[in-house]
């Protein structure tokens, strides 16, 4: 299993070090949104780790990019968070608890193709419409007028 990371998150230094000693880990560093979208679209899965406490105040903006890329989303957070509920309700991926043993077990199952992912919608045209700029502009216009 290969892991590719981009961005400047709190673990970027550790990921960079790991990428230098393990050929299965690639770290692109901070990239533009366009480059990030391109990177994600090359892979089957997009990781979305987020602390449960953070989900009480924020919703990760990269979800829209992940949905539009066509990648299945693997959220790493508690099952009762807003993120996990959204992933499940929109059928765009799966969630694993942020416990190391559960994450490792899931990675091995994914690698061996023994996780049922048939519920994950790959036709996301309707969902993608929600994230388009003209939809956003129309919502603002409706609020203003």
pLDDT tens across the length of the chain (145 residues): 899 999 988 899 999 999 999 999 999 999 998 899 999 999 999 999 999 999 888 888 889 889 999 999 999 999 999 999 999 999 999 999 999 999 999 999 999 999 999 999 999 999 988 888 788 888 889 888 8
Confidence (pLDDT) at 61? 82
Residue 86 lies in a domain: yes
Structural domain total, the chain: 1
Residue 13 lies in a domain: no
- For residues 145 and 120, what is the distance between their CA atoms, to the nearest angstrom? 37
CA atoms within 13 A on the CB side of 1: 13
DSSP state of 126: H
Residue 88 lies in a domain: yes
Confidence (pLDDT) at 92? 97
Residue 55 lies in a domain: yes
- For residues 115 and 72, what is the distance between their CA atoms, to the nearest angstrom? 13
Give the DSSP H or E segment for 134.
helix 133-144
Confidence (pLDDT) at 142? 87
Secondary structure of residue 8 in the 3-state scheme: coil
Residue 10 lies in a domain: no
Give the DSSP H or E segment for 41.
helix 33-41
Residue 11 lies in a domain: no
Q: Is the dihedral of CA 41, 46, 51, 53 positive or negative?
A: positive
pTM of the model: 0.87
Task: For residue 124, give its domain range.
Answer: 32-144
Residue 19 lies in a domain: no
Confidence (pLDDT) at 9? 83
Confidence (pLDDT) at 59? 84
């Amino acid at each position: 299993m290969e892991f590719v990371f981009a961005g400047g998150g709190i673990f970027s230094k550790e990921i960079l070090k790991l990428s230098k000693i393990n050929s299965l880990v690639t770290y692109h560093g901070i990239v533009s949104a366009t480059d990030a979208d391109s990177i994600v679209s090359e892979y089957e899965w997009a990781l979305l780790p987020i602390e449960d406490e953070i989900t009480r105040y924020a919703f990760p903006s990269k979800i829209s990019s992940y949905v539009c890329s066509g990648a299945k989303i693997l959220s790493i957070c508690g099952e009762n968070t807003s993120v996990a509920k959204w992933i499940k309700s929109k059928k765009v991926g799966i969630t694993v608890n942020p416990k190391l043993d559960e994450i490792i077990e899931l990675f091995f199952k994914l690698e061996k193709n023994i996780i049922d992912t048939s519920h994950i919608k790959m036709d996301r045209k309707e969902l993608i419409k929600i994230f388009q700029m003209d939809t956003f502009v129309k919502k603002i216009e409706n609020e203003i007028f």
